[in-house]
Amino acid sequence: MTTMSLRKQNTRLPPEVNRVLYVRNLPFNITSEEMYDIFGKYGAIRQIRIGCNKDTKGTAFVVYEDIYDAKNAVDHLSGFNVANRYLIVLYYQHAKMSKKFDQKKNEEDIAKLQEKYGVSTKDK
């Protein structure tokens, strides 16, 4: 099914579908040109952000101009092999991503408080 046929049928998309994709398990040395080559086959891309920090290496965000192009990319690129790594392509979900960051921040806060008050959770 092509993107045009999805639009003509007025297909109702699931609520999690959006224009922003979260890509995991990327090779660490992938370039933005290679990302545009891989993801550009499925539609016009507005932006690609590749993770460069220690925590974000191997991940990227791909923003499409059109929601149907994003759906087409997820359908075709999930499990796609790039440099002997199978891509994990998901729709970006703000609520889930912010929970991960909040949990990390909470763990850091707890560690600081434990250090401040000399409390240890390790068994001696």
The pLDDT tens digits of the residues spanning 80-113 come to 999 999 999 999 987 666 556 667 777 888 888 8
The pLDDT tens digits of the residues spanning 58-73 come to 999 999 999 999 999 9
pTM over 0.75: no
Question: What class has domain 20-93?
Answer: alpha beta
pLDDT band at 124 (very low <50, low <70, confident <90, very high): very low
The residue extents of the domains of the chain are: 20-93
Neighbour-count burial for 70-82, b at 16+ CB within 10 Å, e otherwise: bbbbbeebeeeeb
Planar angle of CA 34, 36, 38, nearest 5 degrees: 70
Alpha-carbon distance of 124 to 113, in angstroms, equals: 20
Alpha-carbon distance of 102 to 10, in angstroms, equals: 38
Count of Cβ atoms closer than 10 Å to residue 87 Cβ: 18
DSSP for 63-77, written as a single string? EESSHHHHHHHHHHH
The pLDDT tens digits of the residues spanning 24-57 come to 999 999 999 999 999 999 999 999 999 999 888 9
Alpha-carbon distance of 10 to 1, in angstroms, equals: 13
